[in-house]
Structure 1
Amino acid sequence: MRFPRPLRPGDTIGVTAPSSGVDDRMRARLDVAVAFLESRGYHVQLGDCLGAGRVVSAPREQRAAELTRMLTDPAIRAVVPPWGGETAIDLLDQVDWFALEAAEPTWLVGFSDLTTVMLPLSLRTGWATLHGSNLMDTPYDPPAGLLHWLDVASATGPFTQRSPRRYRSTGWDDYVGDPGVRTMTLDREGGWSSLDGAPVDVTGRLVGGCIETVCHLAGTPYGDVASYGRAHPDEGLLVYLEACEQGAYDICRSLHGLRLAGWFEHASGVIIGRTSAPDAALMTQADAVADALGGLGVPVVLDVECGHVQPFLPLVNGALGRLVLDGERQELTQTLR
């Protein structure tokens, strides 16, 4: 793995939208997020691919070129898109992978549709990428037990995060009516659980993303997790996945597809993010996980804070992780090496 150097105040952070752009109603929130980064001592460079009015921010060639430019510019130390979207997959055959392989690693930060790009970046170039918050989420204060993505990108040694045991039960904040919101409304109690109810203590290289988007990478040159696992046979993989919005039947089919594509052949454990995606008539989201992954013979931990439900537990693709779930102890330690 190739880890970007730790982020430091004075560094430049690039902002581009490889998937969906920002419409005028949301510009105030974008301004708040940029001001937050500047208040922490960072310079911010806004790209040209931030527009709205269609499903993506700009034509795919332009988005790919701007993302490649920012990731290969030695003056830019992190790239943080405003949020995900729907069709970042159209970038994969447009990105200059040879230029990225030759460049010094830069942090690419995001989740949701951004994992469609982040996962291939880690698998194909060995770059560590940071699954956590998008730019629009950046002003939020993390709850006790979790770190801000800036602190993770600045880390120089192992760091441990613990479940805050609280989460948001419905929806998102109103960025139009309150663009400066910084406190998450975590109104429901709930921690992690293992699929079989047994304690868990497992290690492996972290790799994963959003089920609805990364499932389409299986069987392509951009989603060969099985080969990545073979490259880390002594460490194994901690595969993390989370559902955004699809019903339980769709998620079940996607997880089975990933299983058949070898994504879990080298897994020492599986992390499933908490989701607000709907259950089906005869299958819950947890049932979908059990149906597809219950026979793997490795620990599967549910309701981890790594998805589309606040709060956000940052995960570094490529980091060596240790996941522990034993009664009150619910923690993940990551080492960037």
Structure 2
Amino acid sequence: MDTHCQNRAMTPPLRFPRPLRPGDRIGVTAPSAGVAGAAVARIEFCVDWLRSRGYDVVVGECLVGDGLTSAPAEQRAAELTRMLADPDIACVLPPWGGETAIDLVDLLDWDALADAEPTWLVGYSDLSTVLVPITTRLGWATLHGDNLADTPYAVPDGLLHWLDVAGGPGPFVQRDSAQVATWVRFEEDPHATGWRHVGEGRWEVEGGGDLDVTGRLIGGCVETIGHLAGTPYGDVRSWAEELDEPTIVYVEACEDHAVDICRFLHGMRLAGWFDRAAAVLVGRTNAPDHPDLTQREGVLDALGRLGLPIVWDLEIGHVPPHLPLVNGALARVVVDGDDRRITQTLG
């Protein structure tokens, strides 16, 4: 299914899905982990929440399951392909991430997707494993934002909901929310719509000073996209070279300790992920330090030698709230005193 796509130009021009509107159909499928236990009530609530806002939500067969994945890889790949290629589905949204979405990237029907109109694919965590190749191989913009389980949460001042980003023409301006939050456990309240605030955060430039850079966004969860580096499904170097524009690479760590994150980032560096980068954005993390290496030191060990500006502690990962970013969007990042903002243009 993939040979034709491998033999032609890797990166067609960037294409942006049409704006998502109430009345449009959203497909829900689990390309990685399925839904079981207390999470069932949460996902049912989230589906109803979207329907109450006017969206036509269809739920696939690859959703419920208490194993490592929702279904065998071939079945998950077929359902994801079908939803993305279906002209009646405007957006595809997973319940959450998981562990092994990498097992389906070479099973997607890339030829069928290349012939289809672009569809919004939204999510983060293990879904980064699919977002990156959809953008770099097909040229489709993809949205690194809340998964379905997080979608009903209210957005703090400064940030936008992913529905706002997928639903408008832009440009989209978001600012440092200065908030650090956590989730409400499904067992405690499956209908939660407000983050539980636990602290404050602030974007800052490594070494101090100001920053004003522009580039095309690409990135995701280090533990998942790191395994794509050097493969046809994570060839950011070729994508950036064909675009012939600067990039802004964003990364975030979920749970691996600092040495593993350091290794992943070195691998991405060696595979050319940062060759065209104008800056690197790093999401705040609760991932553990190593006794001899902090998370920050791990990033600097891998990327400090590049001499690129690094911006720390953005809301782009496993520490909520979430700042939705569009892979392929033209982004301007400004950090200048109290002016800390990112502007995304879809086009």
**Range of TM-score over shorter length:** over 0.9
Instruction: Name the SS for the 1:246 alignment partner.
Output: coil
Distance 2:26 2:79 in 1: 14
Segment of structure 1 superposing worse, 295-304 or 311-320: 295-304
Residue of 329, 335, 342 corresponding to 1:332: 342
Measured against aligned partners, the alpha-carbon deviations of 1:70-97 in whole angstroms (never above 9, x if no partner) come to: 0011110000000000000000111000
Aligned pair 1:182/2:201, yes or no?
no
Residue of 128, 136, 143 corresponding to 2:156: 143
**Which residue is 1:4 aligned to?**
17
Instruction: Name the SS for the 2:333 alignment partner.
Output: strand
Shift of 1:177: 2.0
**Which residue is 1:306 aligned to?**
316
Shift of 1:193: 1.0
CA RMSD of aligned residues (A): 0.9
Shift of 1:187: 2.3
Shift of 1:145: 0.5
Structure 2: gaps (5+ residues)? 1-13
Distance 1:195 1:294 in 2: 10
Measured against aligned partners, the alpha-carbon deviations of 1:92-126 in whole angstroms (never above 9, x if no partner) come to: 11100001111000000000000101100000000
Distance 1:283 1:15 in 2: 39
Distance 1:222 1:51 in 2: 27
Distance 1:200 1:296 in 2: 16
**Which residue is 2:79 aligned to?**
66
Q: Structure 1 counterpart of 2:184, which letter? A: D
Distance 1:164 1:266 in 2: 28
Instruction: Name the SS for the 1:122 alignment partner.
Output: helix
The count of aligned residue pairs is 334
Shift of 1:232: 2.4
**Which residue is 1:217 aligned to?**
228
Q: Structure 2 counterpart of 1:283, which letter? A: L
Instruction: Name the SS for the 1:209 alignment partner.
Output: strand
**Which residue is 1:103 aligned to?**
116
Q: Structure 2 counterpart of 1:177, which letter? A: E
Q: Structure 2 counterpart of 1:327, which letter? A: G
Shift of 1:229: 1.2
Deviation >6 Å, runs of 4+: none
Instruction: Name the SS for the 1:181 alignment partner.
Output: coil
Distance 1:284 1:306 in 2: 19
Structure 1: gaps (5+ residues)? none
**Alpha carbons 1:28, 1:176 under 8 Å: kept:** no
Distance 2:165 2:226 in 1: 27
Aligned pair 1:132/2:145, yes or no?
yes
**Which residue is 1:85 aligned to?**
98
Measured against aligned partners, the alpha-carbon deviations of 1:165-219 in whole angstroms (never above 9, x if no partner) come to: 0112xx5321122001001112211111111212111000000111001111111
**Which residue is 1:53 aligned to?**
66
**Which residue is 2:30 aligned to?**
17
Shift of 1:157: 2.2
**Which residue is 2:219 aligned to?**
208
Percent of pairs identical after alignment?
Answer: 60
Residue of 264, 285, 289 corresponding to 1:254: 264
Instruction: Name the SS for the 2:340 alignment partner.
Output: strand
Aligned pair 1:226/2:201, yes or no?
no
Q: Structure 2 counterpart of 1:164, which letter? A: S
Shift of 1:294: 1.1
**Alpha carbons 1:131, 1:316 under 8 Å: kept:** yes
**Alpha carbons 1:239, 1:271 under 8 Å: kept:** yes
Measured against aligned partners, the alpha-carbon deviations of 1:118-162 in whole angstroms (never above 9, x if no partner) come to: 100000000000001000000101100111110000011201000
Distance 1:105 1:155 in 2: 16
Instruction: Name the SS for the 1:333 alignment partner.
Output: strand
Distance 2:220 2:127 in 1: 9
Q: Structure 2 counterpart of 1:178, which letter? A: D
Distance 1:317 1:6 in 2: 15
Distance 1:186 1:295 in 2: 35
Distance 1:156 1:33 in 2: 25
Residue of 156, 164, 167 corresponding to 2:180: 167
TM-score of the two chains, using structure 1 as the length reference: 0.98
Distance 1:119 1:94 in 2: 15
Instruction: Name the SS for the 2:132 alignment partner.
Output: helix
Q: Counterparts of 1:269-280 in structure 2 under 5 Å? A: 269-280=279-290
